[in-house]
């Protein structure tokens, strides 16, 4: 090797090695027990023009695995992720070739930039370890500084919060999960509503014992419908890239499948037994003007967070309209007393108000 090239290579090693040593554990892709050929395991035949692409990743994480049999037992990193990427609802890792740039910055600032994602947007192959799946990933840049990502929602926010190119029907998840909101699913912090009587153990409003679960991850709801698939929101057969079914329309027959996602944490017998809202069963199962079926939880509740109301109340404007006086609101009557007023028009019924 020419001396100048050797010197250049040595300088790269000097710059790179401290970053590796600083990691809490050996990065998986730099572990010689896993990657016997070292950097060459990935970088031989690597296309550097656009950051490499995801095709190289599925050499090991796809159906044609070249990993030695002795290492296959090591876990999820050797499961076939391409099965989930072939499902109806998925992150568009494949089929968007040519849109990614190794120099791009997230969140997007260009409103007409084509939305896309590469494996490297969520996984840093040089740094990721078993102890730190977010190692090497940087969050939203503020000025000249971008803090390391340490929580899953910080990673999700890079594309699903402040991006200038959010799809038309998408909403800013950072705003919805804001801890200052009257209510939110407890992703950034424990929830504010302290009387969620339908919660099943181990879920609790506040963590009081070691086994209590009082905060959630995005991947608790968004991920593969197959529990044997690799962990993470790669793809699902359910709309919204959900781990279970969640019906959001009208005229739906209430059952454990229709709202399977909700019933993972919220006791079905409590909801249908009207423990928190005396008209839950009437609305969800349907009666009188809902004889063909009820209306979805989605009609009255948001899944992420409500900047307006407690109890995740945020009316679906595709179904719920202003009442005859032009009002559309929920008024709580007494803290955690489960009484209130609804001012709205829903399915032809004028609430002016309806009191419970």
pLDDT in tens, 179-192: 999 999 999 999 99
SS3 302: coil
For residue 313, what is the DSSP state?
B
Q: For the purposes of burial, counting CB atoms within 10 Å of the CB of 87, is it exposed (0-12), middle (13-18) or buried (19 or more)?
A: middle
Residues 6+ apart with CB under 8 A from 221: 242, 243, 261, 303
- Note the Cα 63 to chain centre separation in Å: 25
Distance CA 215, CA 284 (A): 27
285 or 20: which carries more pLDDT confidence? 285
Q: How confident is the model at residue 2 (pLDDT cuts 50, 70, 90)?
A: very low
Cα angle 343, 348, 353; round to 5:
20
Mean pLDDT in residue range 61-90: 72
Does residue 115 belong to any structural domain of this protein? yes
Phi and psi angles of residue 344, each rounded to the nearest 5 degrees, phi first: -175, 175
262 or 20: which carries more pLDDT confidence? 262
Does residue 182 belong to any structural domain of this protein? no
Helices (H), 115-245: 119-122, 152-160, 173-176
Model pLDDT for residues 106-164, shown as the tens digit of each residue:
999 999 999 999 999 999 999 999 899 999 999 998 888 889 999 999 999 999 999 99
pLDDT of residue 77: 52
| In the predicted structure, residue 19 carries a pLDDT above the cut 60 | no
Helices (H), 34-118: 40-43, 58-61, 69-72, 82-85
Place of tokens 């059952």: 255
pLDDT of residue 60: 82
Model pLDDT for residues 331-341, shown as the tens digit of each residue:
999 877 889 99
Distance CA 212, CA 105 (A): 37
- Give the residue from 198, 203, 185, 201 showing the smallest Cα distance to 274: 198
pLDDT of residue 322: 98
Does residue 292 belong to any structural domain of this protein? no
Q: What's the count of helices (H) and strands (E) in the chain, helices before strands?
A: 10, 12
| In the predicted structure, residue 309 carries a pLDDT above the cut 70 | yes
Straight-line distance from the first to the last Cα atom of the chain, in angstroms, rounded to the nearest whole number: 82
Does residue 105 belong to any structural domain of this protein? yes
C-alpha distances out from residue 137 to 81, 170, 265, Å? 21, 24, 31
Q: How confident is the model at residue 307 (pLDDT cuts 50, 70, 90)?
A: very high
Model pLDDT for residues 234-259, shown as the tens digit of each residue:
999 999 999 999 999 999 999 999 99
Q: Do 141 and 133 form a contact (C-beta atoms < 8 A)?
A: no
Place of tokens 């329309």: 249
What is the extent of the structural domain holding 113? 20-170
SS3 182: coil
Does residue 119 belong to any structural domain of this protein? yes
Does residue 295 belong to any structural domain of this protein? no
Mean pLDDT in residue range 290-299: 84
pLDDT of residue 96: 75
Does residue 130 belong to any structural domain of this protein? yes
Distance CA 309, CA 331 (A): 9
Does residue 291 belong to any structural domain of this protein? no
The domain tally of the chain equals 1
């Amino acid at each position: 090797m020419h001396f100048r090239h050797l010197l250049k290579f040595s300088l790269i090693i000097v710059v790179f090695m401290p970053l590796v040593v600083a990691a809490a554990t050996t990065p998986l892709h730099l572990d010689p027990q896993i990657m016997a050929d070292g950097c060459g395991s990935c970088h031989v035949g690597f296309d550097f023009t656009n950051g490499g692409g995801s095709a190289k990743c599925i050499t090991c994480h796809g159906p044609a695995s070249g990993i030695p049999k002795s290492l296959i037992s090591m876990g999820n990193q050797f499961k076939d992720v391409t099965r989930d990427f072939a499902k109806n609802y998925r992150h568009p890792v494949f089929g968007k070739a040519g849109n990614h740039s190794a120099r791009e910055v997230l969140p997007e600032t260009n409103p007409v930039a084509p939305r896309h994602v590469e494996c490297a947007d969520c996984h840093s192959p040089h740094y990721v370890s078993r102890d730190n799946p977010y190692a090497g990933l940087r969050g939203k840049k503020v000025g000249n500084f971008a803090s390391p990502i340490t929580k899953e929602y910080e990673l999700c926010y890079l594309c699903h919060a402040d991006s200038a190119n959010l799809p038309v029907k998408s909403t800013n998840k950072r705003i919805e999960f804001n801890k200052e909101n009257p209510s939110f699913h407890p992703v950034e912090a424990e929830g504010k509503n302290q009387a969620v009587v339908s919660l099943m153990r181990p879920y609790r409003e506040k963590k009081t014992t070691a086994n209590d679960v009082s905060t959630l991850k995005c991947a608790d709801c968004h991920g593969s419908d197959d529990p044997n698939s690799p962990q993470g929101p790669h793809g699902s057969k359910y709309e919204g890239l959900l781990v279970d079914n969640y019906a959001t329309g009208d005229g739906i027959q209430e059952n454990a499948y229709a709202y399977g996602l909700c019933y993972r944490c919220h006791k079905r017998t409590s909801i249908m037994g009207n423990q928190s809202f005396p008209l839950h069963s009437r609305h969800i199962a349907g009666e009188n003007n809902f004889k063909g079926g009820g209306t979805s939880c989605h009609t009255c509740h948001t899944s992420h967070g409500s900047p307006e109301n407690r109890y995740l109340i945020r009316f679906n404007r595709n179904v719920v309209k202003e009442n005859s006086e032009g009002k559309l609101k929920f008024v709580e009557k007494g803290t955690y007393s489960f009484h209130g007023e609804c001012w709205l028009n829903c399915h032809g019924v004028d609430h002016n108000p309806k009191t419970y």
